[in-house]
Structures are given as C-alpha cells and as structure tokens.
Structure 1
Amino acid sequence: MSLGQKIGRLRQERGLTLQEVSEGSGLTPSFLSRLERDKVNISVANLRKLAQFFSVQMTHFFEGEDDQQLGQVVRVADRVRLSLDDAPVQVFSLLPPNSDLDARLIEAYPGSSQQGFSSRGSQMVHVLAGHVRYTLGEEQYDLAPGDTLFFRDDTAYSWTNTGHSIATMLTVSTLNPRDER
C-alpha cells in the first residue's frame, strides 16, 4: 500500500472529510486529495503535520501490514482523542486504525448530549458509569451502569447524560458490509 493510500485509509477509518483533515493539519484539501491518489509527494514537515493531526507516529505511514504482530495493544496513553480537549463529551478510539471494528470510550459531563446516525453497521453501547437516555427514532431507553443497548445500522440516534456525574460508555460498531474495503 502506498503512502497516499495509507493516509487516505486512515482518514476514512476515522470518518473524516478532506476538509476536516485540511483544517486540522493546515494542508489544502486539493493537496490532500492529490496525495491520497499518489499524484504528489509530501515533505517531511507536512508528513509530520499529518502525523500530529492523526495522533500517530510518523513511522505509522511506513509500516507494512505484513510487519504487524498477531495482537496489537493500544495503551491508555496512546489512545487517539476524537474530540476537542475541552469538549463536554470526550471520545477516545480504543482500537488501532486498521481494525474492522470501531470501539470508542465516551466520557460525558452531566447534561451533555450527542446525536448521530449509525451507518457503519450494528452498534452496541455499554454503560460503564452514570445514567444515559438513548433515543432511537421515537423510542427512548434509560440506561444505567451495566446496561447494554444494541441497534442496527441506518438508525438516527441521540443520547443525553441524565445523571449528576460523568457518564462513561463503551461503544462498538461493526463495518457495514457495503463499506468494507
């Protein structure tokens, strides 16, 4: 896999647009598009910008898939933060970028909420701490520590931390078969 393909794959696995990567890295969307299609070369300084944006080591872009071990550990200190540092909802990726699953740890302040649309396949939400109200279409589910909610793709959802303390959730999503590489 070429360097450009690896960058494009990483962007897609994170669910980011070229514009979002552009804004976070300072590189233009047109340059990023040409880079992903292997139409231009990248300087070390610009590759460093992308590595910082994606929170990976620069060597990540040069590691061959054949070089990977059977298991991969993502240490707490190496988790990729998918949210702004001061956001009321903190989201951390729990798996390496080449995974066929998407697993996230979500920490939400009391009263914080989020909405989304599940288009990646099936999704599971497990509440580790706190109280959360999930809304799927017209249905509402009040979840407490230890509760697990499962729903399928193509579902609009929202949730709110209804408790008085930080709610911590584990979410795991499968890839939608039509999105597989």
Structure 2
Amino acid sequence: MSHELLHQKIKSLRKERNLHLKDVGSGVGLSASYLSQIETGKVEPTISTLRKLAQFYGVSIVYFFETEISQDVVVRKADRKQLWHDDKCMVYEPLQGSAKDKIMQATYIKILPEMDTFFSSHPGEEFMIVVKGLLRFKYEDVTYDLYPGDSIYYNASRPFIFSNPLKQEIEVLTVCSPPVP
C-alpha cells in the first residue's frame, strides 16, 4: 500500500470534514483557487501554508508527511520529503516516517547562502547541531557562531534568530519537543 501524497492528504482532510474550498480559505486566509491548486498538486504549499492548514484542521504539520505504515523506523535519504520555507531561504526535510503519537520531531534543514535573518519561536525545547557551514544564532541577546559539530539546546518558546552570513549552504539537524504544529 503506497502512502498518500501531500496534496491528497490536504484534500482528504477537507472532504472528511465536509468543507468547501471557500470555507477552508476563509479559515486560513487563502483564496479558494490557491487551495484548489494545492489540492490538485499544481502548487507546492509553503511551510507557513502547511502550518495554517495544520492549525485549522487540528493536526501536527508532520501529519502531512507521515507514511501509512506507522511502524516505519527508517527513513532513507532518497525518500525524505522536502519543503521550502516561504521565502525560499530554507528547505526542511522531516526525518521520521511517522510523527503520530511521538513526543519529538527531527528535521534536517538546509539554509541557503547569505540568508539575512530568520526569527522564530514555538512551544517546547529544541536542539540543533551544525553539520555544515556557519550558523549565526542569537538567543536572549547573546549571539553565537556555531561551526560544524557545535550544538545548542534552548527553550524555543523564547524568541530566537538565526542567519547564514557566508556564501555557502548550511546544514543543520534539529530536534524539538513537542513536534511543531
């Protein structure tokens, strides 16, 4: 049995709840035509769009990337899903086959060269380890330059900022608990 594609999962959620595209659109602040393009696979949704949809439907964002076989314990590099951030400065790759009933979420992030700043916060705690490049990380008014092998563990509900000051891509492994909705 093959796993459902992202656009099919989004459409299935709407159909299961007997909603029209305009209902979902007004609930998440997107046009019905844009949602239709997502549901038909013509457009790939951004992270913020998926977060809005996840919040609207009351599911975790990782729901959209879960496989049907929840016993999957291995995710092959070639099978990772890739999701671009809105402004195309980062790509996220969920690292677990299924996040259902999990207490943490692992993600591999690639940050493009010379990304100015990215502001974030979310409930829970987060751990990051730099795999490649230089990650500039600001937390509680202190700025840290993190190099390959360096890690940071912090309360993610407090605002944090990171950037890529160099002309090369950064690769970072993150683990957060609970999973980011």
Range into which the TM-score falls when normalised by the shorter chain: 0.5 to 0.7
Take 2:31 and 2:76, find their aligned partners in 1: how far apart are those partners? 24
Query: 1:14 aligns to what?
Result: none
SS at match of 2:159: strand
Take 2:93 and 2:34, find their aligned partners in 1: how far apart are those partners? 17
Aligned ranges 1:19-38 → 2 under 5 Å: 19=29, 25-26=35-36
Question: Which runs of 5 or more structure 1 residues have no equivalent in the other structure?
Answer: 9-16, 29-45
1:61-111 residue CA offsets vs partner (Å, 9 max, x unmatched): 9x5xxx643x42222233222216992322211123323212111111221
TM-score by length of 1: 0.59
Take 1:123 and 1:156, find their aligned partners in 2: how far apart are those partners? 12
Q: Against the structure 1 CA distance between its residues 23 and 113, is the aligned structure 2 distance closer, same or farther, given a 3 Å change threshold?
A: farther
Q: Against the structure 1 CA distance between its residues 86 and 121, is the aligned structure 2 distance closer, same or farther, given a 3 Å change threshold?
A: closer
Question: Which runs of 5 or more structure 2 residues have no equivalent in the other structure?
Answer: 1-11, 18-26, 51-61
Aligned ranges 1:23-172 → 2 under 5 Å: 25-26=35-36, 63=68, 68-69=70-71, 71-83=72-84, 87-95=88-96, 96-98=98-100, 99-172=102-175
Take 1:89 and 1:106, find their aligned partners in 2: how far apart are those partners? 7
How many residues in Structure 1 have an aligned counterpart in Structure 2?
Answer: 140
Q: Against the structure 1 CA distance between its residues 108 and 155, is the aligned structure 2 distance closer, same or farther, given a 3 Å change threshold?
A: same
Q: Against the structure 1 CA distance between its residues 26 and 112, is the aligned structure 2 distance closer, same or farther, given a 3 Å change threshold?
A: same
Higher-Rg member (1/2): 1
Q: Against the structure 1 CA distance between its residues 115 and 164, is the aligned structure 2 distance closer, same or farther, given a 3 Å change threshold?
A: closer
TM-score by length of 2: 0.59
Take 1:102 and 1:135, find their aligned partners in 2: how far apart are those partners? 22
Check conservation: 2:114, 2:168, Cα contact below 8 A.
no
What is the identity, as a one-letter code, of the residue corresponding to 2:145?
D
CA RMSD, Structure 1 to Structure 2 (Å): 4.0
Check conservation: 2:119, 2:162, Cα contact below 8 A.
no
Take 2:129 and 2:13, find their aligned partners in 1: how far apart are those partners? 36
85-94 or 130-139, which deviates more = 85-94
Take 1:21 and 1:100, find their aligned partners in 2: how far apart are those partners? 33
Percent identical residues: 22
